[in-house]
Structure 1
Amino acid sequence: MTTSVLARVTADPAAPLHACVGAPGGHGKTALLRQLTDAYRSAGASVAGPWPPRHPAADQVLLIDDAHLLTPQQLDELREHAERPDARIVVAHRPWPRRPELLRLIEVLRRGGPAITLPALTPAQVAEHLSAPTDELVAWVIAQTSGIARYVTRLADALPPAGPGSPPHVPVAALAPFAAEFDELDASVRTLLLAVEAGAGLSFDLVAAVLDHDANVAELVDAGRATGMLAADGTLVPLARRAIAALAPISQRIDVRQRLAALQMARGGPVLPLVRPLLRVAAAPGLVPGAAGSGLGHVYEAAGEEALGDDPALAAELFAAAAGAGRTTASRRALATALAGDLDHASRLTDQVLAAGTPEQRAEAAYVAATVLAHRGQTAQAVRLHEWAGTDVANGFAAVGLIAVGRLADAQRLIRPDDTTGRPPTSLSAAATLMARGTAESVTGSPATALSSLVQAATLIDPVGPAALLPDSPAAAGALLALHCTELDVADTLLTRAEHRSTGGALLATRHHLLRSWVLLLRGRLAEVEQRLPATAEATAAQGRDDLFAAALRVALARRNGDLVGLRSAWPDACQALIGQPVELFNLLPLGELAVAAARLGELHRVAGHLADADRLLAELGDPPAWTVLLHWYRLQAAILADDQQTARRYAALLDGGRSAGPYAAAFADAAAVWLEVLTGQADPEAVVAASRTLSLAGLTWDAARLAGQAAIRTSDRKAMALLLDSARAMQDRGTRADSPAVTTGQQLLSAREREVGALVLAGMTYKQIADRLYLSAKTVEHHMARIRQRLGCADRHELLSRLRELLGDPEATP
């Protein structure tokens, strides 16, 4: 439309022209009038504008801007001039205010043709304003300005030259011109824009709350839209929003938020959007200058409660702001800080509240402090604070902790029967009680009953999600019990759901991630564990028990991969983590793994004290099979690696004595008996395959493959060796790479003899030892290895051994 009117004037400047241009501020009305002025003057016409002359000549061109600001008399005079058939007049105006005189003038002008519209600039037009346009920069400018011509020019002129790959940002120079425009607005329109910037949108009742009661909100909204800052959908143009937030007096912004918050809190609405812009959490924590001590303390506190579940770090900042405004929120701030994962700061805050808080605040602070201690692995100390807190939730978790340190009788006194509680249960208190019962059942009853209670507790806690501060989750406790009983599918399901629901927030995210990695480890899916290790290392700083699980996981992965260098590298950190952790029921899994690694490295003395503590703990709990069987299996493996047959026989006997506990216990007992036969060279290959298969069906494919592989290495019967190697490989494939075409193809490249040679090389035998075992010459063994390297495309011995471990598994070397 603008192009066509300019073309008409250029083609015939003497022809009559009646036109009106209506658009909000900044859309280019003035720029169009300047272009028309240049066109007429270049044709020799007399032009008057942007203000109307008192008595315009009949042949004078009138190009009038901001007609909405003219007096009724001026508008009537322009209408009289426009009624002349030969008049040349263009009037630009904003859509508000709509005076009757202006409407009559517009009606006359529209008889000469349709109104001229000024749409947002197109991407091509925006690109013309930029010195070095790119598609990304053009899109960003449009997003900031909504394509409004004035704002595009303002932003484009202020943008500095962009460096390679540097994201654009809004310069202060692009915001400065808004200050004068904002000051020129009517006070009510300014308040409206401040209300929209605060989050009121075009909700008339919210806007009315910050205006005088007799204000016409609908008219003010029209006035706001006419400025160009307020879009038709009730949102501020992003550049204008930034300018109002940066340039509007903070006292006015706070006053608006106080009024809006009073209405929102009165009707139970959210207040977080109102106060979030007053925080500068990302750059420097705290409030923007002028926002502290502003009378918004109760609003900051309410906003902190709203943010607690989704963004505890923000909630902590809001509780701090509330405290600065005189509210007593120290215990809530400690809770939010702990949920955000900053245990050190949370501990300092709880100490302050425990020393000087009210009884209610001290109870909450005690719970937070107990949770901090639990995450650091100091369960006994955590129990004391949980008991002191005295709530149903705290008592439930205290009972779990008491069982974990061997005090079953004390725990049972805290577990309330359903029909005697004096307070209505919440989801969290019911979950904590069920978790305590499930933990108690794991040492006094059947694992199936205990798992049922723990799964129910995990389901109960689902709705709470990340908003609950937990010393541990039912999912983690249930997964650990399931791991000990080789119910790996149950463990994985519990942990997957806990991760999906963000149970316990950031504080438990690392624990759930680590335990899922342990599930994969026991399944023998080592490549997947290795892929998850970077995420494990980069997760929220490991605290106490998480550090132990992470360090033991790295040790376990290196040992299972036959990576002696990696094992020695990971061992010092694992020892350091172990030293800082007292033995409890829920860390027996990493302790068992470290015991095997210690035997592999000849450093059993480093775990001897912890293993003795574990024996005492389990004895105090009555040696519950659900928790003892897997540890006995680990200690059997450690004895085998240490070539301590007497100790191996002892733990094999213990496993046999506990076989009645369930199928998992029987599987371990059978495998232990076969191991003893393997060590003495008397193993029946069929019995080895059967025991290995039982372990594999229990999910322990790596242990199954190792048993079959070790039996293959120790037999001199070539037929039995081939059977056992095939069995080991099949179990390895089942657990790790059943769906991997690359592995299947690699195995097909090797002959049966080459697989035998490769397995013995992985076991640490020399070419001469392999030759003696297989009744070959050393030269023939060397020839087989050269063929293997060629077929697998390996450049050096290190790559060759890694590829063989991938294809054949790694029968761990024994003394």
Structure 2
Amino acid sequence: MSVWVDDVLDRARTRLPLCAIAVGFPGSGRTGLLNVVSEGLCELDVPVSVGMPTGGDSAGPTVVLADDLHTWPSDLVARMATMVDAGTIGLIATAEPRETDPILRAVLDLARRSATVLDLGTMSTADVLIRAARAGLTLTPATASQIRRRCGGVRNVVTAALLAIREEAAAAGLGETVDEPAVVERVARDHHHRLLRGLDPTTLSVLALASSRAPLDPESLAETLDVPYETAVEALDRARGSGLLRGADVFVSAAADPLRSVVGNRRLEQLRRTSIAVRLRASELTVDDALHAAESGIEDPRLVDTLLAGAVDAGAARAVVLLRAADRVEPGRDDVRLLMAQRALASGDADGAGEVADIRLESAHPAEKGIECWVGIAALVAAQRGLGSHAADLYRWLGPDHVAAESLSAVTALVAVGDRAGAAAVAAADGGRPPVGARAVRSLAARGLLASVSDDFGDGDGVAGDAVGLVVRGLTATMPGRWDPAAARTLHAATALALNSGDLNAARALRKAAGDCATGTLLDAEIALTGGDLETATRLLPTAEPAGAVDRLRVHAVRLGLAHRHGDTSALAALWPEASALLAATEVDLYLLRSLAEFWQVAARLDDTASIDRYIAAADRLLDALDNPMIWAAPWHFAGVQAAVIAGDAELATGRQRHLDSIAARNASASGLVTAARAWSALTFEQAGTIDDAQVADAIAALRLRGLDWEAGRLAGISALRSDDPHATAGLLETARSVDADRRRPRPVDGLLTEREAEVARELLQGFTYREIGARLFISAKTVEHHVSRIRRRLDAGSRSELMAALRAAGYS
């Protein structure tokens, strides 16, 4: 500022044409600056006139001092500008910013010719610190920043606040502290109150609209305030010049209370409502505007449409806020409450979603249009709470003819509790509808889940492959772009199916297709644990406790599984007390059998199976009711053999082995687990020599074929300890080390075939038989057959000729 003053005085001293103007908000020090210039002109004996000069006897042009030029009559300012341009007078003025005043702009243009326009901007935090130091105050940068914000950076207000703090400090007694924020708040409030009292009603109305975040374009202002367009433009210009609008016309929040005091709540509310009505008529209401209007008690159906549209694209938490506001405007609207429940569930508020769904379903009828969506919400809430039977009951009440788009969720829920007939009825009803794309791929996944509980389903390659292939093809084609709880439930079911089938690649494919999702890391941890990748499972295991009972049980199962595989008995003992409560809170269903198996083996390790016998019995009853379907029953009874081995219970092992033998008699796909279970039991309960090395090798290969690398390595180690042949022991230990190395090796997820499957494929293309391939790769012919069956499913090849053509096309020749 001193540079500007010196420049102005130099021009006055040398009688150069003079037109200078300082532009700033109220309180920026404009008047004080003009007084300094006036004193300097007097010392230079330059003729000065406050206002238009009356005579012309001076030695040179009279310099007119014009404070607050923006308030002067337009015709007078225009005449002065003409005289300045002609050189008959000089002009030194101050003014508030005015962007649309053409006459004031003309004066500014004259001043810019001589570079004598001074923009009195707001103070920075550094400026406040310097001003405080001059006042004898020591402030932290944080306090200086707070003072700047509360005072709007206006110089005179900041100075007044600093002086007030200094006075309070001087008056404070020994040991007393000054409440600096309170002092600054009082000074800023007084300044804003005085400033607002001096504004005209139209300008106050513009500021009031800005405080409610209403649009400030002149057209909207003119309609809202019922004034001519030109008047709205001028009022907006004055509001901006007051310093209470910053940046993109954002109202200074520190002035909110003074504005309310000057304008009054009634007027503020009237302006807000009028502005919303104007925007509704013009269809220009934003989502924030609609939310603000709803929170203000404005009731207009058009607000609901805006809020509903905003909720569709918003995040879960914000969507709930928008939808609750919409429900207040138009209570009971079904589409609003449905979306509210869906987004509440997506944000983790199962209780809120369940409450809304229960109210809606209390008086509903199954044939009512759209009621299936409400049933879907209620069923998901029940499933998250571990009440699978309640979820199934909801779909039974709805009936297969009314399930519609909820068919896959219904099949998922019904299969979970073993209701094969109910799931089949839903799938049949859905199959009778037009085979449009979404329904067709949805039907694939539903058929896959049904196939998993029906051993007579298939076309010769085995139920497991058919079921997994159908589910993978169906779900990878229908995974939603935005994650939702229904997809999470189905993905859990599908991944459990793939893992129980021993197809880790299918599980990874399903997980990859799902993308980022709330339960994704838990699925990743479960897949890694099943494949024996303990380091990855530990790293991916969620640290935050899940909200639902089912997910809490699954997380605990992974923790138990990790401690069990590491042989960490102390960790198992620390984790076990929580197990009973988690199991008691969750009903047993098919998708939780793998998790329950982890509990079972740990209970055997801790000699506490009695505490979970009823849950094991519940799982047995569920499988018995379904005639022990191979996909679900075989891994369960194999886990029973493992638990029996851990507990040293030969009778239990024999019983579970009989179940496995019965399953294998019906479905050859279970033969690998039968072989592994028999080997494990023989090594534990029978005398040495009752099982030969070839049988052990077949058992290890069967486990590896199912992705159970940790179990394979464990079996090899146990066998090595039991062997009396040093050469055989060395070979088994080498196998154990090889298996351990393989399970630690990162697994590619993008290739069509695994490394071993690719080896088999290349041998197959060269025309070798299964026996010859086995001899070349040091595996059994039966293992080669399993690999070929899996390759066929991956490539969706039916006949042998189709398989060979697909392998050549994929580049395995």
Judged with a 3 Å threshold, the aligned counterparts in structure 2 of structure 1 residues 79 and 613 are, in CA distance, closer, same or farther, namely closer
Task: Tell me what 2:229 maps to.
Answer: 215
TM-score norm. by structure 2 comes to: 0.72
For the residue of structure 2 that corresponds to 1:443, the secondary structure is coil
Judged with a 3 Å threshold, the aligned counterparts in structure 2 of structure 1 residues 450 and 62 are, in CA distance, closer, same or farther, namely farther
* Segment drifting more, 193-202 vs 567-576: 193-202
Q: Distance in 1 between matches of 2:73 and 2:11?
A: 32
**Shift in Å at residue 572 of structure 1?**
2.2
- AA in 1 matched with 2:5: L
Give the one of 700, 705, 708 matched to 2:713.
705
Judged with a 3 Å threshold, the aligned counterparts in structure 2 of structure 1 residues 701 and 620 are, in CA distance, closer, same or farther, namely same
Task: Tell me what 1:776 maps to.
Answer: none
Q: Deviations over 1:422-451 (max 9, x none)?
A: 8x9896x77765553332132234344433
Task: Tell me what 1:347 maps to.
Answer: 354
Q: Distance in 1 between matches of 2:328 and 2:310?
A: 19
Task: Tell me what 1:614 maps to.
Answer: 619
**Shift in Å at residue 46 of structure 1?**
8.1
Task: Tell me what 1:790 maps to.
Answer: none
* Segment drifting more, 71-80 vs 561-570: 71-80
Task: Tell me what 2:639 maps to.
Answer: 634
Q: Distance in 2 between matches of 1:75 and 1:265?
A: 42
Report which of the two structures shows the higher radius of gyration computed on alpha carbons: 2
Task: Tell me what 2:453 maps to.
Answer: 443
Q: Distance in 2 between matches of 1:455 and 1:104?
A: 74
* Segment drifting more, 298-307 vs 620-629: 298-307
The alignment status of 1:515 with 2:527, answered yes or no, reads: no
1:415-814 aligned within 5 A = 415-416=427-428, 420-421=432-433, 435-444=445-454, 445=457, 446-459=463-476, 462-463=479-480, 465-466=482-483, 468=484, 470=486, 472-498=488-514, 500=516, 502=517, 509=518, 511-533=519-541, 535-537=543-545, 539=546, 541=547, 543-652=548-657, 654-655=659-660, 658=663, 665-679=670-684, 680=686, 681-682=688-689, 684=692, 688=696, 691-692=699-700, 694-696=702-704, 698-736=706-744
The alignment status of 1:306 with 2:310, answered yes or no, reads: yes
| Contact kept? 2:468, 2:497, Cα under 8 Å | yes
For the residue of structure 2 that corresponds to 1:473, the secondary structure is helix
Judged with a 3 Å threshold, the aligned counterparts in structure 2 of structure 1 residues 274 and 673 are, in CA distance, closer, same or farther, namely same
| Contact kept? 2:273, 2:298, Cα under 8 Å | no
Aligned-pair identity in percent equals 24
For the residue of structure 1 that corresponds to 2:91, the secondary structure is strand
* Segment drifting more, 369-378 vs 210-219: 210-219
| Contact kept? 2:529, 2:537, Cα under 8 Å | yes
| Contact kept? 2:65, 2:91, Cα under 8 Å | yes
Judged with a 3 Å threshold, the aligned counterparts in structure 2 of structure 1 residues 244 and 643 are, in CA distance, closer, same or farther, namely farther
Q: Distance in 2 between matches of 1:586 and 1:625?
A: 14
For the residue of structure 2 that corresponds to 1:470, the secondary structure is helix
Q: Distance in 1 between matches of 2:500 and 2:160?
A: 66
Judged with a 3 Å threshold, the aligned counterparts in structure 2 of structure 1 residues 634 and 258 are, in CA distance, closer, same or farther, namely farther
The alignment status of 1:328 with 2:332, answered yes or no, reads: yes
Give the one of 379, 387, 391 matched to 1:382.
391
* Segment drifting more, 359-368 vs 15-24: 359-368
| Contact kept? 2:531, 2:743, Cα under 8 Å | yes
1:91-110 aligned within 5 A = 91-96=93-98, 101-103=103-105, 105-106=107-108, 108-110=110-112
Q: Distance in 2 between matches of 1:98 and 1:709?
A: 88
| Contact kept? 1:476, 1:512, Cα under 8 Å | no
Judged with a 3 Å threshold, the aligned counterparts in structure 2 of structure 1 residues 515 and 81 are, in CA distance, closer, same or farther, namely same
| Contact kept? 1:702, 1:732, Cα under 8 Å | yes
Number of aligned positions between the proteins: 705
| Contact kept? 1:21, 1:116, Cα under 8 Å | yes
Q: Distance in 2 between matches of 1:588 and 1:14?
A: 97
For the residue of structure 2 that corresponds to 1:671, the secondary structure is helix
Q: Deviations over 1:186-211 (max 9, x none)?
A: 55555555666656657677666645
* Segment drifting more, 140-149 vs 675-684: 140-149
Q: Deviations over 1:525-578 (max 9, x none)?
A: 3233334445242x4x2x222222122222222212212122122112112211
Task: Tell me what 1:69 maps to.
Answer: 71
Q: Distance in 2 between matches of 1:487 and 1:498?
A: 17
| Contact kept? 1:434, 1:456, Cα under 8 Å | yes
Q: Deviations over 1:642-689 (max 9, x none)?
A: 212343344445445656999974543343243234323335557545
Judged with a 3 Å threshold, the aligned counterparts in structure 2 of structure 1 residues 663 and 271 are, in CA distance, closer, same or farther, namely farther
Judged with a 3 Å threshold, the aligned counterparts in structure 2 of structure 1 residues 114 and 341 are, in CA distance, closer, same or farther, namely same
Q: Distance in 1 between matches of 2:667 and 2:26?
A: 79
Task: Tell me what 1:370 maps to.
Answer: 379
Q: Deviations over 1:217-250 (max 9, x none)?
A: 7666655544445457x45267579789988866
Q: Deviations over 1:283-310 (max 9, x none)?
A: xxxx5xxx2x332575257415522553
| Contact kept? 1:639, 1:647, Cα under 8 Å | yes
**Shift in Å at residue 729 of structure 1?**
3.5
For the residue of structure 1 that corresponds to 2:229, the secondary structure is coil
Q: Distance in 2 between matches of 1:75 and 1:312?
A: 58
| Contact kept? 1:555, 1:594, Cα under 8 Å | yes
* Segment drifting more, 172-181 vs 692-701: 172-181
For the residue of structure 2 that corresponds to 1:303, the secondary structure is helix
| Contact kept? 2:151, 2:184, Cα under 8 Å | no
For the residue of structure 1 that corresponds to 2:19, the secondary structure is strand
**Shift in Å at residue 70 of structure 1?**
0.5
**Shift in Å at residue 98 of structure 1?**
5.0
For the residue of structure 2 that corresponds to 1:637, the secondary structure is helix
**Shift in Å at residue 123 of structure 1?**
6.9
* Segment drifting more, 67-76 vs 183-192: 183-192
**Shift in Å at residue 91 of structure 1?**
1.7
| Contact kept? 1:313, 1:340, Cα under 8 Å | yes
**Shift in Å at residue 638 of structure 1?**
0.5
| Contact kept? 1:47, 1:63, Cα under 8 Å | no
Judged with a 3 Å threshold, the aligned counterparts in structure 2 of structure 1 residues 141 and 431 are, in CA distance, closer, same or farther, namely farther
Q: Distance in 2 between matches of 1:375 and 1:237?
A: 46
For the residue of structure 1 that corresponds to 2:482, the secondary structure is helix
Give the one of 318, 330, 344 matched to 1:337.
344
Judged with a 3 Å threshold, the aligned counterparts in structure 2 of structure 1 residues 394 and 558 are, in CA distance, closer, same or farther, namely same
Unaligned ranges ≥5, structure 2: 169-180, 458-462, 748-813
**Shift in Å at residue 274 of structure 1?**
1.4
- AA in 1 matched with 2:722: R
1:35-184 aligned within 5 A = 36-37=36-37, 40=40, 43=43, 52=51, 55=54, 62-72=64-74, 74-75=76-77, 78-79=80-81, 82=84, 85=87, 89-96=91-98, 101-103=103-105, 105-106=107-108, 108-110=110-112, 112-113=114-115, 115-118=117-120, 124-125=126-127, 128=130, 176=189, 177-178=191-192, 181=195
For the residue of structure 2 that corresponds to 1:490, the secondary structure is helix
